[in-house]
Amino acid sequence: MKMTTRALSRRALLRGAGVALGLPLLDAMVPILPTSRRARAQSAPAAKPLRLLVWTFPDGVRMNAWTPTATGANYTTPPILKPLDPFKSKMNVISGLANTPASVVSGDVFAGSHARATGAMLTQVPLVFTSGTNFKAGVSFDQIIANDLKVRVPSLRLPSLELGAVYAGATGNCEDGFSCAYLTNLAWSSPTTFLPKETNPKAVFDRLITGGLPTGGGTTNPPPPPSGDPTPSAAAKALAYRKSVLDLVAADTRSLAAKLGKADKAKLGDYLDSVNELERRVTAMSTSTPGPTTPSPTTPMTPAVASSCAAISTPKDGTYLGRDRTKNVYGYSELIATMNDLIAMAFTCDLTRVVTFMAEIPLNTQTNFSFLGVNSSNYHNDISHHGGDPAKLDAIQNVNTFYATQFAYLLDKLAKATDVDGSPVLDNCAIIFTSEFGDGDNHFHYDLPVVVAGRAGGAFATGRHIAYASTPDRGTGAIETARRADKPLANLYISIMQAFGLDVTTFGTVDGTTPYGTGPLAELRG
Amino acid sequence: MQALPALLAAAGFAGCTGHIEFDDPAPGSGPRNTNPTPGGSPNGSPNGSPMPTPASLNPGRVVAHRLNNVEYDNTIRDLVGLDLKPSRTYGFPDDAYIDGFDNNADALTVPPLLLEKLETATDAIVTAALATDKSNAAVRARIMTCTPTASSEAACATQILSAFATRAYRRPVTADEVAGHAQLIGVAKSLGDGFEQGIAAGLRAILLSPRFLFRVEGNPGAGKTATLDDYELASRLSYFLWSSMPDASLFEVAAAGGLRDSATIAAQARRLLADSRSAALMDNLAGEWLGARELAVKEVTVPGVTFDDALRTAVAAEPSAFLGELFHGGHAVKELLGADFMFVNARLASHYGLSGAGALGGQSTLTRIAVSDSRRASGVLSQANTLTVTSMRDRTSPTRRGKWVSESLLCLVVPAPPPMIPPLDTQPTSTPMTARDRLAQHRAKGSSCAACHELIDPIGFGLEHFDAVGLWRDTDGGATIDATGVLPGTGAPFDGAASLAAVVAGDPRFLDCVVKKLMTYALGRTLVTAPPAGSPLDDRVVLSDIAGKLGSSDGRFDRLVELIVTSPAMTTRTGEEGGP
C-alpha cells in the first residue's frame, strides 16, 4: 500500500489510536499498515527497538572538507568528520542527495532559501509562501514513524521529542516573507501543525521522569487494580484519576463544541485531539488494556538495562538547570552536551524512539563563535556567506567541526549504553547528522551533507561513503526550480521508515501530485 | 521616484518595491511586485475600493480564544488566590506573535506538549489550593464552602464544584454542567480515597475544561450579527484591561444585565483601568509594542557601557511606567512622543546623566520626575529602551530605528529586504565616517537598495544623536552627526529627535496607528484594513470612527479606551454557519 502524497490527517490517525478502552483497531484507522503486516506484528517476537534521531546544525558546510574523495569502505576521513572517526564503522557518509521540494519558489531563487530548506527537510514538500498564520508544510517522516509506534508500542512514554539548544520564535516573517514556523522547526504532525521544541533542559528532564523511570524486571507501571481492591498503589490511583478527568474533559469539549460555529468548532476540535492523545498515553501506561487486537507490549526492562538507564539519567552536576531566556546559565557547548545527555537518556530508558534536535537555528545571529577562535559577531552573514574568502572558509570549517565534536559526544554515549534488547543503543539507531545546505554561500538544495549513524538494528550496512551522482551544473534559475534527477533525500527517509517496519514506498512531492521519493536507498541495505 | 518601481520589477527584486504602503498586505498574497499609488489617506482606500458605509458595519468575530500564558497565570492568580505563575514554572511553550501581539485568537492553539504541561500545572495548582496549612486557610475556604456529612456529600460536592465552575467558566453554571464532576467522588471512593480527593479531581477537570481555558462566544448564525451577552462582554473587558478574569463586582454588573448599556460599559472600563491589575495592560503594551520584552534578552556589547542586570531591568521597566502614567493621568496620545515627565531610578538616572540621580535612593522601582534634560523630552523616542532595542549589539542602526518608527508608530508596511544582501562594512576607516556615511556607501553597492533605504533610514538619522544604549553623543566615528531627514509619504522635514517626535506626533497616521495597535490588542484578532474585493469585513470603518472621535476630543489614552470598549467591534459579533 503506497503512502499518498496527501498529508495524513493527524486527527484521522489519532481517532483510530485506541482512544477508549476496548475500541478495536479498524483497518480504516490505520491506513499505513496493511493487514498482513499487522498480523505479523502480533505474532512475531518483540522486534528490535529501532530509534530515529535527526540532529541538525545550520547554514551549511564547507563541502570539500566534509565529502570524502573515495567511495566505498576505505575512504580517508575528511577533516570535519574526524571527530566521528571512532564510529566510522557504525555510520555511512552519503553524498549527492537533494532536497528538490525546497527549491520550489516563485520569484527570486534565494528568497526564503533557509526557511524552505528547513521546512521541507523532513516533510519533503514545497511550502506555502506566507509569514502569517496560514503556514502549511506536510507531515514529517519522523511523525509518521511516531504515529506507527503509538499503535505498535503504545507504552512509550512519549511518541516523540522535539529539542533545540537555541530558543527562537516560530511566528512572523523570518526570511523574505517566509514564516518563522518553517525556519525554527523540523517536526510537523500535520501539514499545519509544527511541534514546538523544548530548549529548557530541566523541563525536558521533568517530562522524561514524570511517572517514574523504568525499573528492572517488568513493565514500567503497575495496572490499576480491579475494582474492590482496597489498596491500589499510588501510581495506579494517579493513572485512574487522570483517565477519569480526561474523559470528563473530552466529554465537556464535545458538548461545548456542538453548539458553536464552524471555526470555533475546529478550534475546540484541535483541543479535543490533544486531550484524546494524552488519554491514549495514559491508557497505554496501564497494562490492563483488554482486547485481541492490542499489539504486544515492549520488551520488559531487564535489570541490566534498568541500571544503564539509571546511570545515564543522573545529571552530571546533580541537577538539570532550568533555562530562562533572560539568563544563559549554560554555555553553548555545555548546553548542547546537556541536550545530548537527555537524548541518550530518552533512548536508553526507552522513553521515546523518535527525537529531532536543532543545535542552532538557520540564519542565526545569536551564537557568537569567538570561543572557537572564530572572528564572528554574526555567524550567518559574516562567515557562512564566505564569498570564497579563505579566512571565512576556514572559519566555517571550524564551526562545522565543532558541531561534529558535539555530535560525536552523543554517539559515544549511545555506543556505550545498553538497549532493551541487549545491544548497544547505537546499533538500533538510525541517526541523521546534517545541515539544511551544502555550501552556505550558494544556498543550493542539492549535494547535501548527510551522515547516517547507527545500523538501524541491522537494516543498514555501515562503514562506507555512498556517493550518488549529482547533476554537475551548479547554476540557478531553471536548474534550481526544475525537477532534478539527483537522488531524493526522501528516499533515505523511505529506507528508515521501512527499517521501522512501515510498508512505505513513496514520500514527499515536488509538484503536489507525483511522489518525490519513490523507494529506499538500495545501497544502504544490510 | 515614479520610474523606480518599474526598474525594480525589471531587476526581479520582488522583495522591495521601493514604496512604503499604508495598509497591511492580505495574508498569503505572495511576494509583492505590485505598485500601489503613493500617498492616500491612512484610513482611505489606497487600493481604490470604496469604504463601506457605517450602516453595513461588520464587527467581525474572534474565534474561541485560548488564554495565553500571561492570561493563564493571571487568571489562576485571581481565581484561586495564589500567584503561582504556572506558565513559567512548567515551561509552557511560547505563544505566537501576530501583528506584534501574543493574544491573537487564531494563533493560540493547544498542542499536545502544552496540554501535558497544563495537566501537570493543574495538579500542582489544585494541590496548593486545597493545602490545609494555616497560611492557606483563606484560599482553601474560598473553594471548600461546605463540609459534607455522610448524607449530604452529593449536595456539598455540587455546591463546591458549581461555585468554582461559575467563577472558572466566567458565567453561571447549571447543575448539569458539573454532574459528571460530582460523580468523581464515587471514583475516589472506589480507589479507597475520600470526598477531598474526589473534589480535587473535579477541580482539575474544571481547570482543564475548554470553558476555562478558552473564551468562547455564542454563534448568532450565518449572516447575522448579535450583541455579546453580559458575561462575554465582561470577559472581553477584563481580559483587555487586566489580562485576567472579571472580578466579583464586574460579575455582579453582568449578572444584573448592566453591560447592555454603553455608559455602564464605559464606567466599568474606567474602574478596571484605575485598578492596579491594569499593570498587565501596561506591561504587555510596553513589552510587545514598545519592545521591552526583547530588550530583556537582547545582547548589548557597547564598549564602555556596563549593561548589567540592574540597568537592563530599569531600562526595560521605563516604558511600562511611562504608559501607566499616560493612561492613568489623563494624558493625550501625542504625549507618547513628547512628555514633561519621565520615570527613573537612581541607576537609570545615572545612565541618562541626569543631575540629582543620587537623591532617588537605592530602590529598584521607578519614580516619576519632571524632565530636566530637554533631550529626554521626546517620550519613547528618547527612552533607552526604544533606542537600545532598535540598535545592533554594539552600534546604532538607523535602518532598524526607521523601520521601527514606521511600523510601530505610523503603521506603515516596510517591505523585507531582498535576499542575500552583503553585510554592512563596519571596519574603521581613515576618514571619519558616521553611520549615515557608511549606509550611503552600502547603498551605493546596489541602486535597487536605495529606493527603500531612502524612505526608511532618514527617521533613524533623526535619532543618531542617541547611541546604541540611548546615550547622547555629539559626534559619531569622529564626524559631526547630520540628524536631518523627511518623513516617508508626507515629506515633512525634521532635524533631530525632538523635531522628529513633533512631526510624527502631528501626523494623522500616528493617531490612527495607536488606535489600530490598541484595538488589535483589545480584540485579539487581525484587523482587516486592506479587504480583498467582496470581503464582508472591513475594519477601517470602526477604526476611522474611533480615530475621528478621539481626534476631535481631548485625544486622551483613557478616552481611547472608552471608545474601544463601546465600539461595535467589541460589543457585537457576526455569526457563521454551524460546523459539521
DSSP A428: G
Q: Which of A58, A100, A98 is nearest to A447 (CA)?
A: A98
Enumerate the residues of chain A whose CB falls inside 8 A of the CB of residue B12. 107-108
Name the B residues in 194-213 with CB < 8 Å from any A CB. 197, 201, 204-205, 208-211, 213
Per-residue pLDDT reduced to its tens digit, B522-554: 999 999 998 888 888 999 999 999 999 999 999
CA B463 to the chain's CA centroid: 24
- What is d(CA B225, CA A155) in angstroms, rounded to the nearest whole number? 49
Helix (H, G, I), strand (E, B) or coil at B65: strand
- What is d(CA B534, CA B11) in angstroms, rounded to the nearest whole number? 33
H or E segment and range at residue B163: helix B153-168
Cell 467582496 belongs to B534
- What is d(CA A492, CA A147) in angstroms, rounded to the nearest whole number? 19
The three cell numbers of residue B580 are 459539521
Cβ atoms of A210 and A202 within 8 Å: the answer is: no
Cβ atoms of B46 and B23 within 8 Å: the answer is: yes
- Mean of all residue pLDDT scores within chain B: 87
- What is d(CA A238, CA B245) in angstroms, rounded to the nearest whole number? 30
Q: Please, where are the H alpha helices in A258-299?
A: 262-285
CA distances from B460 to B333, B456, B492 (A): 22, 8, 15
B418 or A369, which is more confident?
A369
Cβ atoms of A307 and A301 within 8 Å: the answer is: no
Check residue B479 and give left, alpha or beta (phi > 0: left; psi -120 to 50: alpha): beta
The three cell numbers of residue B504 are 510624527
Query: Which residue of chain A is at minimal alpha-carbon distance from B422?
Result: A381
Query: What is the pairing mode between strands A51-56 and A354-358?
Result: parallel
CB-count burial class (<10 Å; 0-12, 13-18, 19+) for A371: exposed
* Backbone φ and ψ of B7, nearest 5°: -60, -45
Hey, what's the torsion of the CAs at B279, B282, B286, B289, to 10 degrees?
A: 140
Cell 473535579 belongs to B202
pLDDT of residue B29: 30
Cβ atoms of A452 and A91 within 8 Å: the answer is: yes
Q: What angle do CA A213, A215, A218 make, to 5 degrees?
A: 125
A270 closest CB neighbour out of B110, B190, B418:
B110
The three cell numbers of residue A238 are 494517579
Q: Please, where are the H alpha helices in A351-389?
A: 379
Name the B residues in 298-317 with CB < 8 Å from any A CB. 299
CB-count burial class (<10 Å; 0-12, 13-18, 19+) for A289: middle
pLDDT of residue B190: 93
What percent helix, strand, coil does chain A show, rounded to 5?
40, 10, 50
B115 closest CB neighbour out of A175, A274, A381:
A274
**Beta-carbon neighbour count of residue B448 at 10 Å?**
19
A378 closest CB neighbour out of B33, B208, B423:
B423
Residues B420, A170: C-beta atoms closer than 8 Å:
no
**Beta-carbon neighbour count of residue A382 at 10 Å?**
17
Hey, what's the torsion of the CAs at B427, B433, B434, B438, to 10 degrees?
A: -60
Residues B113, A195: C-beta atoms closer than 8 Å:
yes
Give me the tens of pLDDT residue by residue for chain A, a chain 526 residues long: 333 333 334 443 333 333 222 223 322 333 333 333 433 332 223 468 999 999 999 999 999 999 999 999 999 999 999 999 999 999 999 999 999 999 887 766 678 889 999 999 999 999 999 888 789 999 999 999 999 999 888 878 899 999 999 877 787 788 888 999 999 999 999 998 899 999 888 888 888 887 666 655 434 444 434 444 445 677 788 889 999 999 999 999 999 999 899 999 999 999 999 999 999 888 877 654 332 222 333 445 677 777 778 788 777 666 677 665 555 567 888 899 999 999 999 999 999 999 999 999 998 777 778 889 988 767 887 788 888 899 999 999 999 999 999 999 999 999 999 888 888 999 999 999 999 998 877 777 888 999 999 999 999 999 999 999 876 555 555 445 444 678 999 999 999 999 999 999 999 999 889 999 999 999 999 7
Kindly tell me the number of DSSP H helices and DSSP E strands found in chain A.
14, 13
- What is d(CA A525, CA B16) in angstroms, rounded to the nearest whole number? 49
Kindly tell me the number of DSSP H helices and DSSP E strands found in chain B.
26, 10
- What is d(CA A518, CA A498) in angstroms, rounded to the nearest whole number? 12
Enumerate the residues of chain A whose CB falls inside 8 A of the CB of residue B176. none
Name the A residues in 379-418 with CB < 8 Å from any B CB. 381-382, 385
Helix (H, G, I), strand (E, B) or coil at B13: coil
Residues A108, B12: C-beta atoms closer than 8 Å:
yes
- What is d(CA A205, CA A346) in angstroms, rounded to the nearest whole number? 9
Asked if B33 has any chain A CB less than 8 Å from its own CB, the reply is yes
pLDDT of residue A502: 95
Q: Which of A330, A360, A460, A339 is nearest to A409 (CA)?
A: A339
- What is d(CA A302, CA A310) in angstroms, rounded to the nearest whole number? 12
Cβ atoms of B384 and B469 within 8 Å: the answer is: yes
B244 contact partners, CB below 8 Å, separation of at least 6: B71, B74, B75, B77, B78, B238, B277, B280
Q: Which of B565, B563, B574 is nearest to B537 (CA)?
A: B574
Asked if B9 has any chain A CB less than 8 Å from its own CB, the reply is no
Asked if B91 has any chain A CB less than 8 Å from its own CB, the reply is yes
- What is d(CA B394, CA B477) in angstroms, rounded to the nearest whole number? 13
Name the B residues in 420-439 with CB < 8 Å from any A CB. 420, 422-423
Per-residue pLDDT reduced to its tens digit, B348-365: 999 999 987 777 877 788
What percent helix, strand, coil does chain B show, rounded to 5?
50, 5, 40
Cβ atoms of B410 and B463 within 8 Å: the answer is: no
Query: Which residue of chain B is at minimal alpha-carbon distance from A198?
Result: B93
- What is d(CA A195, CA A178) in angstroms, rounded to the nearest whole number? 18
The three cell numbers of residue B310 are 540592574
Residues B216, A256: C-beta atoms closer than 8 Å:
yes
Per-residue pLDDT reduced to its tens digit, B80-90: 999 999 998 88
Secondary structure (H, E, C), A478-497: HHHHCCCCCCEHHHHHHHHH
Query: Which residue of chain A is at minimal alpha-carbon distance from B579?
Result: A262
Residue of A180, A249, A382 to mutate for B, most B C-beta atoms under 10 A: A249
CA A101 to the chain's CA centroid: 19
CB pairs under 8 A between A and B: 204
Residue B274 C-alpha, separation from nearest chain A C-alpha, in angstroms: 31
Enumerate the residues of chain A whose CB falls inside 8 A of the CB of residue B98. 132-133, 171-172
Q: Which of B471, B465, B411, B407 is nearest to B436 (CA)?
A: B465
Gap between the terminal Cα atoms of chain A: 23
A267 closest CB neighbour out of B14, B63, B181:
B63
Residues B210, A268: C-beta atoms closer than 8 Å:
yes
* Bridge partners for A55 per DSSP: A357, A433
Residue B233 C-alpha, separation from nearest chain A C-alpha, in angstroms: 18
Enumerate the residues of chain B whose CB falls inside 8 A of the CB of residue A200. 91
Q: Is the pTM of this model over 0.90?
A: no
Per-residue pLDDT reduced to its tens digit, B283-310: 999 999 999 999 988 889 899 999 999 9
Residue B16 C-alpha, separation from nearest chain A C-alpha, in angstroms: 10
Burial B58-70 (b: 16+ CB within 10 A, else e): bbbbbbbbbbbbb
* Bridge partners for B101 per DSSP: B98
CB-count burial class (<10 Å; 0-12, 13-18, 19+) for A446: buried
